Structure 1
Amino acid sequence: MTSATPSPLPTRRVDLLARLAQPVQYDLAVIGGGATGLGVAVDAAARGFSVVLIDSHDFAKGTSSRATKLVHGGVRYLAQGNIALVREALHERTTLLHNAPHLAQPLPFVMPSYRFWETPFYGIGLKMYDALAGKAGLGATEFLGKESTLKCLPTARAEGLKGGVKYWDGQFDDARLALALARTAASLGALVVNYCPATALVHDNGKVAGFVCRDAVGGQEFTVRAHAVVNATGVWVDGLRQMDGEATGRPVTAMVAPSQGVHIVVDREFLPSDHALMVPKTADGRVLFAVPWLGKLILGTTDSPRQDVVREPLPFAEEVRFILEESARYLSRAPGVQDIRSIWVGLRPLVKPQDDDGDNTKSLSREHTVLASRSGLVTVTGGKWTTYRAMAEDVLQKCFTSGLLPEKPAGVTNSLSVVGAPQGKVTHRISDAQGMHSYGSDAPFVQALAGQSSELGGGLTEAMVRFAARYEYACTVEDVLARRSRMLFLDARKAIELAPAVAAILQDELGTDPALQDFLALAPQYLHVPA
């Protein structure tokens, strides 16, 4: 295992923008700072390419901070017979757990059985899951009796319980992993800048040659030139594709049909266990999870079509009702609306079948799609967090086969630890309440800052906020309370309470407006339960 950097790099925005202003032609420019775009930046920089990445908002502001927090091989794909996809995801699961052990770890799941046929039926499928994982397996699948099931899930509904099946997958902290990838790319020489939206694409003789972007904080515009430009904007990829099509006079067919997933967070007392509960088939055929995470319990998720692609989607009333009602079928004490600590929604970029619109399209798996337009704009969308690294390799391969970059060998990120990955054994669990453990080997640097003994609340210290401002690209109160700390996603009321103190520290560190009022307007949405 190689280490990306032994100490944190400063992320002063004035320095980042000064680099962005330099008249440099990069090998690769990435638009989009979610899981996929950051993975591409890390892979390209690790192979020795010069790389720049921008994001219109904060890193992982969109879908990539709103996952179900699972690192998984995709049990449901076994039933569909998609063995290749499961194998790929299981391999990537192992790689991720190995390269970011402080942010991604194994987690045991239990499927409770309330019909006699469920334990053998699902158990046999999960034994196949074990077989596909092989040496990459995290633990053997076990058939459980009623007593053992209740030991793992002490608040599961005992009435009618026949037994259960225990299997292993993984969980992680998505936003902090995204941040670690941004910092890893930077440690390898890449320039990564948040709050810098692309406003136009640059074309030379009908070919994409870069983009124009604008600093959302100060308003300065920059023109960035690159041999290859990657559109990794998730559910928003069609906006850039349309921009490309208009410039080249070619029609563009929409790629993405967004779907939204709702997650509800409640206190751990509703399932006081280090095991997750998984229901493979609910009343309407969906999957239900109850996952312990950072001291709370996540209930979800839904899968509802959505026509728009807003930055802060709100849940539909029927989605909240579905999650609470299904939870009541499996928990002895069901949470109600009054028990919700936070509720958040993520948009999934589901890829539509592509008509022949002049793009050279290749679907690399049922999970993600990479295509290159005639102008050379490389677009990637779909997929899931678990396979972000494999997606990055596919994107670079598309750059090679399209003649945009000279080919260099793949596999360099297989054993590349992210920034902060500790070298010794990790003793904490992602299910534990948030604290210093998420910093990994950076913890001593955090603890050396002023305010380490000054806790603001919920495990967040003054020193953590200062570290976020100096080394983690944080510009606003939301950056700190939603993605550097996960407070907004865990307990929105507590986040509102801490916001003024966080704003004061950011003001002291950065000397710019930390957008406190914007956060105080946003945070109540995470408590919004539609009637």
Structure 2
Amino acid sequence: MRRRKALEALAERRWDLLVIGGGITGLGVAVEAARRGLSAAVIEACDFAAGTSSRSTKLIHGGFRYLKEREFRLVRESVAERMALMRQYPHLVRPAWFLFPVYRGDPDPLWLLRLGLWLYDRFAGPALGPYRHRRLSAEEALREEPWLAPAELLGAAMYVDAVTDDARLVMAVLREAAAAGVVAVNYSAAVGFLREASGRIVGVVARDRAAEAGAPASGGSGEAGAEASDAGKKAGPAAAGRRERGGGPSNGAADRSDGAPRIEIWARTVLNAAGPWADAVRRLDDPAAAPLLFLTKGVHVVVPRRRLPLRQAVVLRGPDRRLMFAVPRDDFVYAGTTDTPYAGDLVRPRAEAEEVTYILRALRQTFPEAGVGPDDVVATWAGIRPLVAPSGSVADPSAVSRDYQLFAAPSGLVTVGGGKLTAFRAMARHIVDALFPTTRRKKALSGGEAPDFAVEGGAPGAAFARRAALAIGEGRAASGGGGPGGAGERVPAAGAFGPEDRIEAFAPDGREPADETEGWAAWRARLLFCFSPEEAEAILEDAAREAAAEAGGAVGAAFSFRARVLRAVARAAVREQARTLEDVLFRRYPEALFSPDNGLGVAEAVNDALAEALGLTPEAARRSMDGFRAAVRAMHAWRKEGGEGPG
């Protein structure tokens, strides 16, 4: 649905459910509601997944560490959802081996690790098949991962979880939402509420921010509620357009009396799923609303895989013994995350020098021979966790529950806080059950049961076994060398993303592929990390058409393989409501995070293709380019803070 028609559709009816927030939670709830026969709409203040939903550790996992916090229900539910998501989104949720080393002095001894993994596997049930955890001696662990620090290593275990591209997962759910009849519009911020005479909320006043998209001010990304946050800080929520209306919907015409397009969207139920901005949205309803959330920041760093050639994901500990991950992805390894209280800018969170230093020290502590340092960091990202605030003071942010809760205001506004990416479908079922109890499924869950998952395509075990056989099957050869000073022998691979035998798209020095066949083959493999086979082929066909036109003289500039493909990605991204270069190269395909130059080398060519597809004015195209450059600069701003070197 075209954006203009979608905006008109928002105002043409009274919706059963209107969701504020276009992240994984909000879109997941809308899909679940639509599948139960309810009419649902979603508005998002920035781009879909621009906040927490694209800034996670990019794992679909049960949350093994939460067993220590005795959150057994959360872990059981997450493990069940992990199995279901691997079946429903096989191109996006891929099983991967994780190696968990234990050193002398670690807070969790080997016996406790093995007990926890036994329980973890039990939660997965028979669907896990032969891919249950394995115990390793210290010698076996070093054979599996030669870059591990050998000193004081007591042993290890290997277990299977899953990796994903979190932003692309949101886009997949967005497509499901559209297919189910949900109307979802990004760059549409909630700035006030519609009310009955009694004060009950019966809708939202939304501001269309599309004209602002691409401005540097929005370059740092923000999810639903960024506009609300600004309103609360500047003029107070009462000035944001609160209106009292009774009866049914008005004609819904956009209000442009102050020069800014506003739309009235009527709904029987309004859900606030704005993530870190949920409290700001609540203050639009009640300026005196006490905070519900406890926000923490998680930072990740990206380094070239040639500097840290891991064979599988590795669990590592920070200098303070906090658990983190180092995860291979294509030609890179990303590591994180930190977990610190946060009260800063929600729209543009970024890594700070001390946070990057913390992660680098953890990498050097676990992989000392690699010697990874600040100069090796090619990208960073930071996300804000909207956790439900616990009672009392918080000594350890990592101990705060990741579970989700619903909060109903006297006005009828319902807010969701907390939650995990992995459990978004289970959250959606529970939320729709609570909001619309008459639509509950007949099959109720018993107290300790994992949620039922209704996904087409056979039993979970069969689907998982098929996927696992491709991704982590025994006997598959890995690319890459051996350990420090090793001979580079080929070993069974346990890595996560994509075919191990693919052709590299670019040599380490950045030169172009030797011939066109090499280029297309390489980019097909790269695209399959993020897109379904059908989507990837459509993008490559589009790029090939442009290449053919260029050869025939119809295109003025000669584009590299990389630029051709990413220009095609930009044209495809328009169908997912991408409006800026940042939308394309951070979230539709994460070239900004996983390339040596953060996508700057092709940025202008890709921005030109996006501007042409959207019909942007030269000024809007310039704002799009400037916004992307600002976002890339923000990723590297920590360098100016004097980050600590190796130590």
TM-score w.r.t. the length of structure 1 is 0.87
Shift in alpha-carbon separation, 1:443–1:423, aligned structure 2, 3 A: farther
Equivalent residue for 2:120? 129
Whether the aligned pair in 1 keeps the contact of 2:128 and 2:465 (CA below 8 Å) is: no
Shift in alpha-carbon separation, 1:457–1:194, aligned structure 2, 3 A: same
Shift in alpha-carbon separation, 1:131–1:316, aligned structure 2, 3 A: same
CA distance in 1, matches of 2:263, 2:55: 30
Equivalent residue for 1:229? 270
Deviations 1:320-374 (A, max 9, x none): 111111111111212111000101111111211479xxxxxxxxx8511111112
Equivalent residue for 2:388? 351
Deviations 1:461-505 (A, max 9, x none): 332221112x22111100110001111222372312221111100
- For 2:74, give the aligned amino acid: L
Whether the aligned pair in 2 keeps the contact of 1:370 and 1:379 (CA below 8 Å) is: yes
Equivalent residue for 1:361? none
Deviations 1:366-396 (A, max 9, x none): 5111111121111102111001111111221
Equivalent residue for 2:159? 167
Deviations 1:278-328 (A, max 9, x none): 02x543131121111243111111111111342121223321111111111
Equivalent residue for 1:18? 8
- Alignment of 1:481 with 2:612, yes or no, is no
How is 1:297-316 mapped onto 2 (pairs within 5 angstroms)? 297-316=333-352
Whether the aligned pair in 1 keeps the contact of 2:405 and 2:416 (CA below 8 Å) is: yes
Whether the aligned pair in 1 keeps the contact of 2:539 and 2:565 (CA below 8 Å) is: no
Shift of 1:408: 4.2
How is 1:79-94 mapped onto 2 (pairs within 5 angstroms)? 79-94=68-83
DSSP-derived class of the 1:495 partner: coil
More off after superposition, 312-321 vs 439-448: 439-448
Give aligned pairs, total: 497
Of Structure 1 and Structure 2, which has the larger fraction of its residues in strand? 1
- Alignment of 1:30 with 2:19, yes or no, is yes
Whether the aligned pair in 2 keeps the contact of 1:274 and 1:431 (CA below 8 Å) is: no
CA distance in 1, matches of 2:561, 2:453: 37
State which of 415, 427, 434 in structure 1 corresponds to 2:455.
415
Shift in alpha-carbon separation, 1:274–1:12, aligned structure 2, 3 A: farther
Whether the aligned pair in 1 keeps the contact of 2:539 and 2:569 (CA below 8 Å) is: yes
Name which one, 1 or 2, has greater alpha-carbon Rg: 2
Equivalent residue for 1:158? 150
Whether the aligned pair in 1 keeps the contact of 2:433 and 2:440 (CA below 8 Å) is: no
Equivalent residue for 2:540? 447
Shift in alpha-carbon separation, 1:118–1:334, aligned structure 2, 3 A: farther
Shift in alpha-carbon separation, 1:423–1:147, aligned structure 2, 3 A: closer
Whether the aligned pair in 2 keeps the contact of 1:449 and 1:467 (CA below 8 Å) is: no
State which of 287, 290, 310 in structure 2 corresponds to 1:253.
290
How is 1:181-196 mapped onto 2 (pairs within 5 angstroms)? 181-196=173-188
Deviations 1:13-32 (A, max 9, x none): 233223234x2111110010
CA distance in 2, matches of 1:260, 1:76: 18
State which of 15, 34, 47 in structure 2 corresponds to 1:45.
34
Shift of 1:444: 3.4
State which of 206, 221, 226 in structure 1 corresponds to 2:199.
206
Whether the aligned pair in 2 keeps the contact of 1:456 and 1:498 (CA below 8 Å) is: no
DSSP-derived class of the 1:158 partner: coil
Q: Structure 2, unaligned stretches of length 5 or more?
A: 212-259, 393-400, 443-450, 458-462, 472-494, 499-524, 548-558, 643-647
CA distance in 1, matches of 2:174, 2:135: 41
Whether the aligned pair in 2 keeps the contact of 1:63 and 1:346 (CA below 8 Å) is: yes
- Alignment of 1:102 with 2:88, yes or no, is no
Shift in alpha-carbon separation, 1:106–1:474, aligned structure 2, 3 A: same
- Alignment of 1:333 with 2:322, yes or no, is no
State which of 55, 74, 77 in structure 2 corresponds to 1:66.
55
CA distance in 2, matches of 1:413, 1:26: 26
Shift in alpha-carbon separation, 1:460–1:113, aligned structure 2, 3 A: farther
Whether the aligned pair in 1 keeps the contact of 2:128 and 2:464 (CA below 8 Å) is: no
- Alignment of 1:498 with 2:616, yes or no, is no
Whether the aligned pair in 2 keeps the contact of 1:295 and 1:434 (CA below 8 Å) is: no
Whether the aligned pair in 2 keeps the contact of 1:141 and 1:168 (CA below 8 Å) is: yes
Shift of 1:157: 2.1
CA distance in 1, matches of 2:391, 2:429: 22
Shift in alpha-carbon separation, 1:369–1:416, aligned structure 2, 3 A: farther
Deviations 1:173-195 (A, max 9, x none): 10000011111101111101111
CA distance in 2, matches of 1:424, 1:133: 13
Deviations 1:138-197 (A, max 9, x none): 721111133432332232223443432111111111000001111110111110111111
How is 1:389-428 mapped onto 2 (pairs within 5 angstroms)? 389-400=425-436, 406-409=438-441, 414-415=454-455, 427=470
Identity of aligned residues (%): 36
Whether the aligned pair in 2 keeps the contact of 1:212 and 1:222 (CA below 8 Å) is: yes
Equivalent residue for 1:176? 168
Structure 1 segments, 4+ long, off by >4 Å, are: 410-413, 422-430, 450-456
Equivalent residue for 2:627? 518
**Structural RMSD (CA):** 2.6
How is 1:142-157 mapped onto 2 (pairs within 5 angstroms)? 142-157=134-149
CA distance in 2, matches of 1:476, 1:244: 31
Shift in alpha-carbon separation, 1:271–1:179, aligned structure 2, 3 A: same
CA distance in 2, matches of 1:329, 1:458: 38
Shift in alpha-carbon separation, 1:159–1:459, aligned structure 2, 3 A: farther
- Alignment of 1:465 with 2:456, yes or no, is no
DSSP-derived class of the 1:489 partner: coil
Equivalent residue for 1:360? none
CA distance in 1, matches of 2:564, 2:612: 21
Shift of 1:412: 9.1
Shift of 1:255: 0.6
Shift of 1:256: 1.0
DSSP-derived class of the 1:168 partner: strand
